[in-house]
């Protein structure tokens, strides 16, 4: 395993690793995450093994651009459009109905997928260099605190990852908010960086509620 400082050359190495079905760690807009091609089932199974959890729990995906969502979303509902238009890019994960091509390891068998478009342009640039979409489940074993530095990732997974991209300390102490927009009624799964009040305002304008 290699820990490399964030740079254009490191981006190229990370992209090559992702294309080759490897698992890396990188700094998202919240904490460090485990990155892999979200359509590579072997890599996804490895992520679950690394985290020490059984299948059946969904794996988050981060996007470089909103257009990348088309690869995952079965249909763009009015609810999704209203919320994403107001809060993307930003620390809001939106759960949507998944296309049949999305692996079960991503959906956890739920038929839905959680997507986020980070507000940090450097994160989006990195994801773009790796194909436009990456898994970003937190880089820690199940039950442990999210890793805030590359060193913490290394401590959790010594010699188990193919690459750790060191982009410094996490710039947030708060996870993303998670909102389920897969149905006709929105459902707040986790309150985080986007407050419940902010979502209420958005949904009030839309005409919905949480």
Q: CA 88, 188, 122: angle at the middle one, nearest 5?
A: 30
Are 170 and 148 in contact by the 8 Å Cβ rule? The answer is yes
Task: Say if residue 23's pLDDT is above 80.
Answer: yes
Give, in degrees to the nearest 5, the angle at Cα 137 between 196 and 181.
40
Q: What is the domain range of residue 66?
A: 3-206
CA distance 12 to 20: 12
pTM for this predicted structure: 0.93
159 CB neighbour count, 10 Å cutoff? 6
Tell me what the mean pLDDT of segment 190-203 comes to. Answer: 91
* Average pLDDT for the chain: 94
User: Any idea what the CATH number is for the domain that residue 41 is in?
Assistant: 3.90.870.10
pLDDT in tens, 120-148: 999 999 999 999 999 999 999 999 999 99
What is the pLDDT, as a whole number, of residue 53?
83
What is the pLDDT at residue 82?
A: 92
pLDDT given for residue 140 in this prediction: 96
Omega before residue 89 within 30° of 0, cis: yes
For the segment 142-188, what is each residue's pLDDT rounded down to a tens digit? 999 999 999 999 999 998 999 999 999 998 888 999 999 998 889 99
DSSP strands (E only) in 7-52: 24-27, 32-35
Distance in angstroms (rounded) separating the CA atoms of residues 132 and 40: 14
Is 204's pLDDT higher than 90? no
Query: pLDDT tens, 58-111?
Result: 999 999 999 999 999 998 889 999 999 999 999 999 999 999 999 999 999 999
State the pairing for strand pair 187-190/177-180: antiparallel
The total domain count for the chain is 1
Using CB atoms within 10 Å of the CB of residue 204, give its burial: 0 to 12 exposed, 13 to 18 middle, 19+ buried.
exposed
Crossing angle (nearest 10°) for helices 78-87 and 196-206: 130
**CA distances (Å), origin 171, targets 12, 30, 122, 123, 151:** 23, 7, 12, 12, 15
Find out whether 127 and 133 touch, Cβ atoms under 8 Å. Answer: yes
Sign of CA dihedral 43, 49, 52, 58: positive
DSSP state of 66: G
């Amino acid at each position: 395993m290699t820990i490399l400082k964030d740079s254009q050359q490191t981006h190229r190495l990370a992209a090559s690793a992702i294309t080759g079905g490897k698992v890396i760690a990188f700094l998202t807009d919240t904490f460090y995450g485990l990155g892999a091609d979200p359509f590579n089932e072997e890599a996804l199974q490895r992520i679950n093994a690394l985290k020490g959890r059984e299948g059946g729990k969904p794996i988050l995906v981060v996007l470089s651009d909103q257009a990348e969502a088309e690869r995952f979303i079965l249909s763009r509902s009015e609810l999704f459009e209203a919320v994403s238009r107001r809060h993307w890019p930003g620390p809001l994960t939106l759960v949507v109905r998944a296309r049949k091509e999305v692996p079960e390891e991503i959906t956890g068998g739920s038929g839905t997928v959680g997507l986020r478009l980070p507000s940090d342009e450097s994160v989006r640039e990195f994801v773009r260099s790796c194909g436009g979409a990456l898994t970003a489940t937190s880089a820690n074993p199940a039950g442990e605190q999210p890793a805030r530095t590359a060193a913490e990732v290394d401590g959790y997974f010594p010699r188990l990852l193919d690459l750790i991209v060191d982009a410094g300390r996490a710039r947030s102490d708060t996870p993303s908010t998670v909102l389920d927009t897969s149905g006709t009624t929105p459902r707040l799964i986790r309150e985080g960086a986007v407050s419940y009040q902010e979502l209420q305002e958005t949904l009030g304008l839309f005409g919905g509620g949480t």
